[in-house]
Chains A and B, each alone.
Chain A
């Protein structure tokens, strides 16, 4: 079983604040990293797929960085809005096995209006 850790587990921020979360994973045999946003009672939605060390991706107010050598990724949200409230899941893939996703436990973000 691969150890994928996300921190913090939960987070409350005020509307307008910027925030960030961490995903750490084993660096050996790394293949790709996926970030998903999962709102309550909805389907998990893909945010980013990153593969290369030093990758930076951006989608609106959300961005992510990747360090494959040390095995971590950061997700940043600038100017949080109530609609950003969700659980953010990271899921690395590794070269071994069936190339499946290994999900972390997620960071549950609540943005207070």
Chain B
């Protein structure tokens, strides 16, 4: 089974430029997540989609970040314009429902991430 695909793997831009990241989740996974991992911090959820609808975007800086999931499959995350503090690894994950100890949870599978450097 193919994993979560992300591109590009690395991106260097100057501040105030725009950038877009792409994610292709595991086939059949209805839920898709975008995380931001700043150096020295843990990954932080930016947005969660269920099919093509947004479940949680409470931590997405909506003045500059946007995300969409067309047709409930692939997703793109855009930053416009980028700031220095946006330098981070952007992780995409997708999930299926699993069971542990009789409790249902969403097991998340991650892509390799896109490392963004803003100069």
Contacts and interface: CB of A to CB of B under 8 A. Distances in A.
Interface of A: 4, 6, 31-32, 34, 36, 41-46, 49-52, 55, 89, 91, 93, 97-106
B74 to A, nearest CB: 17
Interface size bracket, B side: 20 to 34
B105 A99 contact: yes
B107 A49 contact: yes
B40 A105 contact: yes
A92 B102 CA distance: 17
B103 A51 contact: yes
Please name the 4 residue pairs, one residue from A and one from B, whose CB atoms are nearest each other, closest first: A103-B42, A51-B101, A44-B110, A98-B56
A104 B55 contact: no
Interface of B: 3-4, 33, 35, 40-45, 48, 55-56, 91, 98, 100-103, 105-113
A98 B112 contact: no
B42 A43 contact: no
A89 B43 contact: yes
A91 B48 CA distance: 16
Contacts of B33: 100
A50 B105 CA distance: 10
Secondary structure at the A interface, as helix, strand, loop or mixed, is: loop
Contacts of A52: 101
Contacts of B41: 105
Contacts of B112: 41-43
A4 B42 CA distance: 9
A28 to B, nearest CB: 17
Contact of A93 (B4, B48, B102, B105): B105
Contacts of A102: 42
Contacts of A103: 35, 42-44
Given A49-B100, A99-B106, A101-B45, 9 more contacts: A4-B42, A32-B105, A43-B3, A43-B4, A51-B102, A55-B101, A89-B43, A100-B33, A105-B40
A24 to B, nearest CB: 13
A102 B14 CA distance: 30
